[in-house]
Amino acid sequence: MKVLLLGSGGREHALAWKIAQSSILDELYIAPGNAGTKQHGKNVAISPTDFEGIKNFVIENAIEMVIVGPEEPLVNGIFDFFQTDEKLRKVPVIGPSKFGAQLEGSKDFAKAFMARHKIPTAKYGTFTAETLNEGMKFLEGMKPPYVLKADGLAAGKGVLILKDLSEAKSELKSMLQHQKFGAASSKVVIEQFLDGIELSVFVITDGESFKLLPEAKDYKRIGEGDTGLNTGGMGAISPVPFADSGFMDKVHNRIIVPTVKGLKTEGISYKGFIFFGLINVKGDPYVIEYNCRMGDPETEVVIPRLKSDILDLFEGVASNTLSERDIQFIDKSAATVMMVSGGYPEAYEKGKSIYGLNTIAESIVFHAGTSADGPSIVSSGGRVLTVTSYGKNVETALEKSYESISKIKFEGAYYRKDIGYDVI
């Protein structure tokens, strides 16, 4: 099979690494990819949101499957773009329709969907500039801390958690009236604060059945002990110790099954990954958010734990035969630790030469923001690379990752030394 993978982060490097191991792969292209994905296929300089560019490439190169890594092309409707084009209709896209991608693209859509299907989530209200006053009253009726969410995609920055009522009111006003997050905050979801510990659960679905993937926990803050600014993610572990069978049964019965069934009964076309951002509140799971794609850096621990051929699963998704496919996992834990550019998630410098990559034997290095500069590899983003290791448990996997990371150098490099601290 000739496959085109869209995206350029650590998630896409991990997917490319796995796809390259498939017995049914003929050729893998990654658009645009990074210096790491190049080890597993050919990078092509097309943006994942350039649908016309993707179309031309798919036709010229007789691509037989398109796998979408990031959310933006999905929310923009790449699935529908293929479905409605005479020349592209037969090429399956792994990812939901534009309507289905609203599970991530619109917080209000996701909350209303959960309400319709009685899926446990925080109580909420949705407000616009026209209903600002009602929003203020709604806030007055809630207990602190106050959770405000921009409805649309805001690059992971659209959620504010505020201790003080007057601050919450002024932020609500700035989101709705002054477009603090642009068009993304023309609607705002105000939510009850849930106190618990978070984890990420993933399924792949063909719209009829689904397969559960290993769960993971990511570490979003820049600072140790989960302090400081939010990032794309600084590390991840899998499995998650508190996600025992009792807890996962609740996740399955209360959340996953009603979600997949709900999509089907509402006639929402969804063939791809569903990422459930969950919170464990005293043993009960609640949905914090849905994403219409895999997580990053969760993919860098989840996909290495998958034993089965990933293209076989994707074929099952494309042909509505996922239920007939076998899925197996590697009976080991995995951990990943992200190396980032100094200053990230605020201003940082790029173009720093990375040393020591060839010395790593005990771990897998997934590139997140790198590019090739002649024979050398340089940083090209805030999150630069992530070091994944296996172990008999999460602790030993982390030890290996930290050992490997100590051999990799670039100017200004930073990483958290406490990944997994709260669960091991």
- Which residues make up the interface to ligand GLY (CB under 6 A)? 218, 233, 291, 295-296, 298
Q: Which CB, 46 or 278, lies closer to ligand AMP? A: 278
Q: Which CB, 95 or 295, lies closer to ligand GLY? A: 295
Say whether 73 sits in a helix, a strand or coil. helix
Q: Which CB, 159 or 327, lies closer to ligand AMP? A: 159
**Residue 193 engages ligand AMP in binding (rule: CB under 6 A):** yes
CB 299 within 8 A of CB 355: no
Say whether 31 sits in a helix, a strand or coil. strand
Which amino acid would we find at residue 84?
T
**Residue 147 engages ligand AMP in binding (rule: CB under 6 A):** yes
User: What are the C-alpha distances in Å from 305 to residues 214, 298, 391?
Assistant: 7, 11, 11
**Residue 298 engages ligand AMP in binding (rule: CB under 6 A):** no
Decide which of ligand GLY, ligand AMP, none touches 194; Cβ closer than 5 to 8 Å per partner kind: ligand AMP
CB 214 within 8 A of CB 239: yes
Please, which of residues 152-191 interact with ligand AMP by CB under 6 A? Answer: 159, 191
Tokens of 178: 């002054």
| CB 279 to ligand AMP: min, Å | 7
Per rule CB under 6 A, count of chain residues that contact ligand AMP? 11
Select from 93, 103, 75, 175 the least CA-distant residue to 132. Answer: 175
Nearest residue to ligand AMP, using CB? Answer: 289
Q: Which single residue is written with the structure tokens 């106050």?
A: 146
Q: Which CB, 233 or 304, lies closer to ligand GLY? A: 233
| CB 194 to ligand AMP: min, Å | 4
**Residue 78 engages ligand AMP in binding (rule: CB under 6 A):** no
Range 49-56, long-range pairs (CB < 8 A, 24+ positions): 49/73, 49/76, 51/76, 51/78, 51/81, 54/4, 54/6, 54/78, 55/81, 55/85, 55/87, 55/88
User: What are the C-alpha distances in Å from 27 to residues 24, 48, 97, 311?
Assistant: 9, 19, 25, 12
Decide which of ligand AMP, ligand GLY, none touches 147; Cβ closer than 5 to 8 Å per partner kind: ligand AMP
> b or e along 395-421 (b: 16 or more beta carbons within 10 Å of the residue's beta carbon)?
eebbebbbebbebbebeebebbeebbe
Q: Could you say which of 289, 296, 300, 315 contacts ligand AMP (CB under 6 A)?
A: 289
Q: Which CB, 215 or 289, lies closer to ligand AMP? A: 289
| CB 178 to ligand AMP: min, Å | 21
| CB 46 to ligand GLY: min, Å | 22
In the shown chain, the binding pattern of residues 242 to 281 toward ligand AMP, with x for contact by CB under 6 A and - for none, equals -----------------------------------x----
Say whether 187 sits in a helix, a strand or coil. strand
Number of H helices, E strands in the chain: 13, 22
The residues of the shown chain that bind ligand AMP, judged by CB under 6 A, are 122, 147, 149, 159, 191, 193-194, 198, 277, 288-289
